[in-house]
Structure 1
């Protein structure tokens, strides 16, 4: 990760409570940060809306109202919302921080999942969406990127069957009755998962989410989405024109029940789908009950170490039939007590509760005559052994969950990036480098903060995130000319600079209220806390400067005086007639305040030449001397004689190019 570009929010504390420690992701409408709730001392996710969205009043109101609704859902498979507020005018949410991966990341690593894994994730995902549907919300953007897979409760991060799944990004949902077209007219859904009715009518209800969930199930089973194309609109219309194919077409051997689930959920006619996520959840649970017990062991069985078996050891489970050598436990018929009671609490429908359905009491078969004592002793021995094993498993699991899997994080502060990476990897940890923070105390490129901190508890092998120092914090003054005052203040305050408003000035180019200039100028580097003065425009000045160029100075003075302006004159030599105005500042047509001084450049007239005395010289020589000074010469009389008279006479001042007459005779 490039640490040379800093996010100005990292290291800041929002509302005196949430200290931002790193950036998690940046989307089209918001940026998600990792933060520490310093009041409750817990890690949270802080989602801040982008400035472009904050100007949309309807979007902000809808976002706030739905955040309140989601906060009331209180469902274990929905990313919890803890708090909301505004920072520098931008709405934000404080949410549960889920340590894990998105379903998209898992699919990128695994390509596709087994049917049992796909059903386990689907079950929790639908439980979350069903809770939203009951509250009157439609997600409208169900896709792997919005499904978070946290570490399994049993501690096995690779065990997707026992992993905890949470659905995120309900923040852009609307009430069921609302339209699904945003203000720009674009569908607010990803085209790979979009339902046909969204493409055709732009309307969505709970069945729209059912369709998208069906496409997600298809992708989990096959490792691909059903449709692809060069343009998004091309992909979208394939959902309208075609039925989603069964997964078994791409992955032979996929159970028929999985094909049926995908087909049911992705019917092009919404009325042919389950009415909401709760309806599809019931079908998924039935499918999982039929598949799960014959293909997967429970987490408890995996924790019990296998014991030695002798040829005559008593079996605790029925023998595996010869024609089904791969089965670990005989299939349990649908509807038995085993299915509901062995499903995790988070995956049960509300009406299932935590108690298995009651079963009729059946009398046990009596033991053979003469064998009661023998088998009774064996039962007591086996029961005692089983209780002892279970006690050891429980004690061992408790120790592992609370103490055994934890160690202390190494101290990486002030180390260089390479040294920190070496130290972390030497103890089995992976080092992640965040965006970086400014620091006046820590050298540039060295570790400023780490999470978890030195000596804090950490699971063995977990990642450690560090922020490297960007050196002392300095910010160049941004280019703000032409910007509104509110935007300019927010920009400078975002850079931790103080703002001062200077005296406003008139401007012919800048509308009233916008920034004309800054002091210091744009590009000047300042430290946090230093002050930038903003000079604002008062708009165009009230007086229009008249055009006096080409006029005599006396007329020019009169025109300027009538307009309420004054004249300042600067004379210079020119070929123009004397006292003619050559130029003016400000120019004609621009605005000026009353009594503003207009500078006029005025002609002195052409440059004068003083005639030399060329009399008593040979006429041709006298003419050549005058011509060298830029004068015209007219000879009267014999040119070979002596110049006896000049007109104008010697010593006179004439303009360049004037004609001088010479009279020549003996």
Structure 2
């Protein structure tokens, strides 16, 4: 594939994360680039939708829905979707980067594939599409351009060993849905389009089966079954004609591939396999019966064309009585010589047979040869139909390791399937097998086992800090959600603060997860009262509309009595009006007797009491009272007091 270096997006950084390195290909709906995910340091493919569709709000909404569905398709033969976004108004998908070529490029180079290769590619295509069908998704645009083929791991050119991946699930549906108000709109590639898409009938998974059958036809013959001057002519041929057998174009193809093409491409959807999974089973059986025989033929591939709308049938489709157009046939060659026009070859053959059976000895030889041939045919038929098969052993209830050992001991291979959740069967224990115990199995064949995955548990995902409309959707995939709105000084309104249970907790599907969502900043914040006297602290808090909650006295030798040592909530914490603030208060150091300062000069008495770490309040009488003498004190002399305690002295001149 050629990489465009003059593209204006070269070097662009998408979403602060994806650095565009070059253009890979351009299609009818999107352009594909290879890029570097600078956050995870990996190469990815980015499909950017053309501006024509990016301006359609209906398309954007459908595109986002389809992207979420596609991202949940996890399968080795599906091109994984990692992320989605919008760059300069153009939506894009971030996908797995597959190092290889499209099936279209391979067919352009090789013209056609051997039957064994074609079935191996189709088997992996159907495995990917069947996953989508189980998720309720129809691809709607199965064609060689959407099939990526990675080089075989062993380095050979044989595609039997290649890894095949299918891309663009749901993209055609997103485009088509955005144009549903346009009469007769059809978004598909006409060379592969199912008849029901052309006629506007109900479309389901069998449309993908039809398209896969056309792709198989092209892999075997090097061309698509129909062509025409206009795309609409090609589209309606799918409705009005049966797909021809591939062996009519390529001599020597085995009948089983003709049968597969015929089954997949029946014009009536009811005659096809119900979905890609059913078709996959037929293809797997055909591969087993095909063997290693190769077939050689050369035909040239024909290009496919895309049609934007199908609004009328070709003129010939409207002939009276629905008659088809006249067709041209090749003249039959005149028979050569011989009696009654019979070729001389037949006369020679009859003469040789007559000579061989002229004597009794020759007749015995012919009879013995016929019997020997019959015996060989019977033995071969028995082996092909019955003898090469045996009963499948039971691997049920064995651990994976024991099942593999048992299968190997009996001469079979073992393949591990997708697995089944179970609350009763221990994890990694065989729950199902195919073939079932006692079922028909080729000697030395492979048994597919499905292991117990244990109880169906899912971890609570990390969604804190996400917009609620996004994070809640991912959580609802497995859990019920209880949304609780709360204040937050760190997250804007509408963002997720936390979850309960915490992130990573394993829960069964349907469990309830509490999600705390920010409703903005707290309406007020707690002032600091640490270091204040309890009475002063109470006044400050009440002035702010807060309430003193629990008051706890604690021993403290270094701080005065009644001083606030700690507060909860702390200074600056967000709270609502009327919230309680709990305080820890100092009991102060051990007490001592109140000094007797009666008749002292007021100034001297105040200084003495303060020297003993008491807080002094002076009450005066008369104009010169503060310069007078102490005429009373509280507490009385000898009463116990503590450091930091407030005491009172009354001062007057006389």
Q: TM-score, normalised by structure 1?
A: 0.45
Q: TM-score, normalised by structure 2?
A: 0.46
The structure, 1 or 2, with the larger RCO (C-alpha pairs under 8 Å, 6+ apart) is: 1
